[in-house]
Amino acid sequence: MQLYSVFAIYVLFWVTALFIILPIGIRNHHETGVKMIKGQSDGAPVNFRPWRILLLTTLLATVGLGLFYLNYIYGWLNMDTIDFFNSRERMKGV
């Protein structure tokens, strides 16, 4: 696998991990009882910590890419192991 491919796959893992990590631990003003500022949105987070989110996202994406790369090398999962409906054999007859 080329370095550009690894980088592109890592970016995909990172963005996916960001959407997984982003809502974890976020509380709004109604949940915490903190007074809102005039003009503030009802769903605005009180405890937004971007460095924590970036760190957790990077860790999750790195673990995901590591598992993906190990599967690429050792072939734990491939098309034959996840074809539950035998669709590859049915497509040969078409």
pLDDT tens column, 42-52 = 888 888 899 99
pLDDT tens column, 24-38 = 988 888 888 888 889
pTM across the whole model? 0.78
Kindly tell me the sign of the dihedral angle through the C-alpha atoms of 79, 74, 56, 10: negative
The percent of residues above 90 in pLDDT, for the chain, comes to 53
Q: What are phi and psi of 56, to 5 degrees?
A: -65, -35
The count of C-alpha atoms lying within 13 angstroms of the C-alpha of 2, restricted to the half-sphere facing its C-beta, is 3
Summarize the confidence of residues 52-78 as an average pLDDT.
96
Highest mean pLDDT among 40-49, 54-63, 80-89: 54-63
Q: What tokens appear for 34 in the block? A: 């903190």
Report residue 42 CA to chain centroid gap: 26
Q: Structural domain boundaries of the chain? A: 3-92
